[in-house]
Amino acid sequence: MLNINNSLSFIIGIIFVTSYINRQKEIIELFKNPYWLINTVIIAIFSFYIINIKKGNDEQTIKMQEAIRKGILAFMIAIFAHLELTIAPFWIVYALAYYAEGYV
């Protein structure tokens, strides 16, 4: 799994990439859209619930958690596509594949 230093580097990188004025405006517009915001909150709550299931290591739980991780990655890539950032998904997938075993 990711440790705190890798997570901070990842978050700082995302903030740096999205710090341009146009991209900030686009992100604000996304959050102003109630349909997008409600669905994002539902995704966040559902993801948090599934990732924190403590049923043990049964096959169904592991598959659900893996699907959530891949869904989160797809959501991030979709946001980058919306912001017209074509290089960022490569580095996101690279970092997750390298640092977070089994994430991608």
Per-residue pLDDT 10s for the chain (104 aa) are: 445 555 666 666 666 665 566 677 888 888 899 999 999 999 999 999 988 887 667 888 888 888 998 898 899 899 888 888 888 888 888 888 887 776 66
CA dist 61 → 27, 67, 70 (Å): 33, 10, 14
In which residue are the tokens 């901070």 written?
8
